[in-house]
């Protein structure tokens, strides 16, 4: 099984716009043969930067 972890950093203030496009495209990716998971994650609220936070303009995509 292949796991892909992608860290995506948007231009300042544009993360929500990119996540909206990600959510719109998600069903098509999940429909691809062999795709088990395709999800975007963001930092948990209130996490200090010392805990590995990526920041307000970044999200992580996990695909299996």
Instruction: Summarize pLDDT for 41-63 with one digit per residue, the tens.
Output: 998 877 776 677 888 899 999 99
Output the pLDDT for position 55: 85
Which has the higher per-residue pLDDT, 48 or 32?
32
Mean pLDDT score, 13-29:
96
Output the pLDDT for position 49: 66
CATH 3.30.70.100 fits 4-63, yes or no: yes
- Of the candidates 64, 61, 62, the one whose C-alpha atom is nearest the C-alpha of residue 9 is 61
- Note if the pTM is more than 0.85: no
Q: Please state, as a whole number, how many other Cβ atoms lie within 10 Å of the Cβ of residue 29.
A: 13
């Amino acid at each position: 099984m292949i796991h892909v972890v992608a860290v995506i950093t948007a231009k300042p203030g544009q993360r929500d716009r990119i996540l909206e496009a990600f959510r719109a495209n998600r069903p098509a990716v999940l429909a691809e043969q062999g795709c088990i998971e395709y999800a975007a994650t963001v930092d948990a609220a209130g996490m200090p930067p010392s805990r590995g936070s990526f920041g307000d303009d970044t999200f992580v995509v996990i695909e299996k």
